[in-house]
Structure formats: structure tokens, C-alpha cells
Amino acid sequence: MPVKVSQTVELELRPCPRCGAFVALTADQWERRQKGSDTDSDKAAHGYYCPNGHVYGWWESEVDRQRKRADEAEAKNRALLAEQDGMLAKIAAQKKEAQRIAKRVHAGVCIHCHRTFQNMARHMETKHPAAQ
């Protein structure tokens, strides 16, 4: 028993830039061709062939590739600079803490029990011998 199927499809017509022959694809197909796929090495994955065999499409130019590499390098550089700034801030905070502790020790305050002593050396020998 034969079956008759009827379907309506909207096609976008675009002329070939070289010969003017029209190529008809759906809007979705045009969009997929324009986006392409990084895994496809075939030129048709990023473009189309006209009926006369001319290839036309959207490929990444060398300038675009270089610009993309430069942008990636710049982003990496910014991330490294931010990391460096964080490390420098951490070092500055540790240095400040060390200076604070040295000042307290110079004033006779024990860094272990936080009490003040006239003879800090004797206190450290008798009360905190493991700290030496």
C-alpha cells in the first residue's frame, strides 16, 4: 500500500560569491555551518559547496587565531599577576606579624603565655625549655 507524505520546509537562499548560483539550506543548517565544529577537519563543516563546486564558509583566519592566542595569554598574565599580588599581600601580613611579635618580645612579653617579665631569658629557660 503506497503512502504519500507531504512536508513544507522553509529554505534560505544565498548566492555563491563566486558564480552567483543559489544554495538553499534551512536557517538551522546555516547557523550550524556558521558555528562549525572544532573536531571537523572538513571544510564543509564550517561552510558549504555551491552546485558548481565552489567552497564558501566561515573559517577562523590566521589573524583571528593570533588574536585569540593573544587574548588567552593576556588572561593568563592577569591571573598570574593577581596571584602574585595575593602572595605579596600574604608576605606583607606575615612580616607585619613577625614585627609585632618581635616588638612584644623586646618589651618583655612572653609569646607563649603572654605575661610580662623583667628577665625574659630566665623565664624561657625555666618555663618553656622546649621552645628553644
Domain of residue 87 covers 62-131
Q: Give yes or no: residues 122 and 94 share one domain.
A: yes
The residues near 125 (Cβ < 8 Å, ≥ 6 apart) are 132
Mean pLDDT throughout 51-55?
A: 86
In a domain, 7, yes or no: no
Task: Record the pTM.
Answer: 0.46
Number of domains in the chain: 2
Per-residue pLDDT band at 36 (split at 50, 70, 90): low
pLDDT digits (tens, 9 = 90+) for 72-106: 999 999 999 999 999 999 999 999 999 998 888 87
- What is the distance between the alpha carbons of residues 22 and 68, in angstroms, rounded to a whole number? 33
Q: Specify the higher pLDDT residue, 69 or 25.
A: 69
- What is the distance between the alpha carbons of residues 40 and 33, in angstroms, rounded to a whole number? 11
Q: Give yes or no: residues 110 and 81 share one domain.
A: yes
In a domain, 5, yes or no: no
Longest Cα–Cα distance of the chain, Å, equals 112
Per-residue pLDDT band at 116 (split at 50, 70, 90): confident
- What is the distance between the alpha carbons of residues 9 and 102, in angstroms, rounded to a whole number? 82
Angle at 75 between CA 70 and CA 78, to 5 degrees: 125
94: phi then psi, degrees, rounded to nearest 5: -65, -40
Q: Give yes or no: residues 104 and 43 share one domain.
A: no
Q: Give yes or no: residues 40 and 74 share one domain.
A: no
Q: Give yes or no: residues 105 and 124 share one domain.
A: yes
Q: In which residue are the cell numbers 593576556 written?
A: 74
Q: Give yes or no: residues 45 and 78 share one domain.
A: no
